[in-house]
Amino acid sequence: MSKNQVNTKTIEYSSLKDINKAAQAILAFGKNTPIWLFEGQMGAGKTTLIKAICECMLVNSHVQSPTYSIVNEYATTRGENIYHFDFYRIKSEEEAMDIGIEDYFYSGGFCFIEWPSKVENLLPSKHLKVNIEVDENGKRVITLLKV
């Protein structure tokens, strides 16, 4: 098996009833990489997938998009912290620096980042890319890439 095969994986799901199974597969693949970059068009299901992943991680609080707060912090039943970012509305990387994103990124906790292209110069070099595409039938095709 080539190194590239080890660092990539494709997961598909056709309905929300299958999303937890997809979330578990993503967790198994990315469990040793704490920074996850979620890419996909508006409405592709980034936040919905993050909710399912957090459920699998036993988050004990309400998971929602941090569209206006930029970051939400969740705790698991095991006492682990998860940070969920949505950079869609930020205007500059300086704005992200002002909230202390480097502290989050290097905390050791999982960081799930929506719209990472808005802060690409600030991202750790080691991360998991989670690209979500929606086909003409509404099926989600998730491509994972460890960088």
Question: What digits encode the pLDDT tens for the residues 12-71?
Answer: 999 889 999 999 999 999 999 999 999 999 989 999 999 999 999 999 888 888 877 899
pLDDT at 62: 85
pLDDT for 4 beyond 70? no
CA gap 104, 1 in Å, rounded: 34
**Are 39 and 131 contacting, i.e. CB atoms less than 8 angstroms apart?**
yes
Strand pairing of 128-134 and 140-146?
antiparallel
Structure tokens at 38: 């979620």
Residue 21: partners with Cβ closer than 8 Å, 6 or more residues away: 13
Alpha helices in the chain (DSSP H): 3-7, 19-30, 46-56, 93-98, 101-105
Whether this prediction's pTM lies above 0.95 is answered by: no
Instruction: For the domain covering 8-146, report its CATH number.
Output: 3.40.50.300
Q: Does position 1 have pLDDT exceeding 70, yes or no?
A: no
